């Protein structure tokens, strides 16, 4: 365990020893969380160490402990999963609630917006990408709430129609 009261060369050497001693455990934990995805595990591991360095410098951490790093890895992993679930949900909503979970694979947001007006694209981005409530979308576009709801409905319908036309050529 390394204490915050270490200074100068002692602190640098303590950090090196801590890193060498803890890295294997943290990296293995991250690898298990990611199902063996080495790139994701490395990102999580390095993010955890970076978070610890920042916390140490800011005085939010008094001791260097492997458990602290493990918690950070777990939190970052779960945050990544939540983010991906939100993105999947947004894409499904943009596609009109398609039941097939992977129906958006290979489809970018730009592809979904082909053929929509600027106003329709703007409304969809504000609502489903920025996750604003309809009232805030209306305010941002200078519309009434009812007009914003209508615009969003038309935009979703146009997007679905365009996608059906693309599929059936």
What tens digit of pLDDT does each residue of 49-101 get?
999 999 988 989 888 899 999 889 888 887 887 777 677 777 777 776 544 33
Architecture (CATH level 2) of domain 99-168:
Orthogonal Bundle (1.10)
Helix/strand/coil for 169:
coil
CATH class belonging to 2-89: mainly alpha
Residues 97-116 have pLDDT tens digits of 544 334 444 555 566 777 78
Please state the separation of Cα 33 from the chain's center in Å: 16
Are residues 126 and 137 in contact, defined by beta-carbon separation less than 8 angstroms? yes
Are residues 121 and 93 in contact, defined by beta-carbon separation less than 8 angstroms? no
Checking if the pLDDT of 141 tops 60, the result is yes
Q: Which residues of 118-143 are buried (b: 16+ CB within 10 A; e: fewer)?
A: eebbbbbbbbbeeebebeebbeeeeb
Domain boundaries, the chain: 2-89, 99-168
HEC secondary structure over 58-125: CCCCCEECHHHHHHHHHHHHHHHHHHHHHHHHHHHHHCCCCCCCCCCCCCCHHHHCCCCCHHHHHHHH
Predicted local distance difference test score (pLDDT) of residue 99: 41
Helix/strand/coil for 132:
coil
Which of 21-25, 43-47, 83-87, 129-133 has the least mean pLDDT?
83-87
Checking if the pLDDT of 164 tops 70, the result is yes
The proportion of the chain whose per-residue pLDDT surpasses 70, expressed as a percent, equals 82
Q: How far is CA 89 from CA 82, 96, 156, 167, in A?
A: 10, 11, 14, 22
Predicted local distance difference test score (pLDDT) of residue 109: 59
Predicted local distance difference test score (pLDDT) of residue 54: 92
The proportion of the chain whose per-residue pLDDT surpasses 90, expressed as a percent, equals 29
Q: Which of the 8 DSSP states describes residue 20?
A: H
């Amino acid at each position: 365990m390394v204490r915050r009261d270490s200074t100068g060369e002692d602190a640098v050497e303590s950090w090196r020893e801590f890193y060498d001693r803890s890295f294997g455990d943290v990296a293995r934990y991250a690898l298990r969380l990611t199902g063996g995805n080495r790139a994701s595990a490395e990102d999580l591991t390095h993010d955890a160490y970076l978070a610890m360095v920042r916390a140490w410098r800011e005085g939010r951490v008094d001791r260097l402990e492997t458990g602290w790093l493990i918690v950070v890895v777990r939190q970052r992993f779960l945050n990544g999963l939540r983010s991906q679930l939100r993105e999947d949900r947004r894409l499904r909503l943009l596609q009109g609630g398609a039941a097939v979970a992977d129906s958006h694979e290979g489809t970018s947001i730009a592809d979904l917006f082909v053929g929509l007006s600027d106003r329709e694209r703007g409304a969809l981005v504000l609502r489903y990408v920025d996750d604003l409530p309809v009232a805030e979308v209306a305010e941002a576009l200078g519309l009434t709430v009812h007009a914003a709801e209508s615009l969003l409905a038309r935009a979703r319908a146009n997007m679905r129609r365009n996608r059906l036309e693309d599929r059936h050529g």
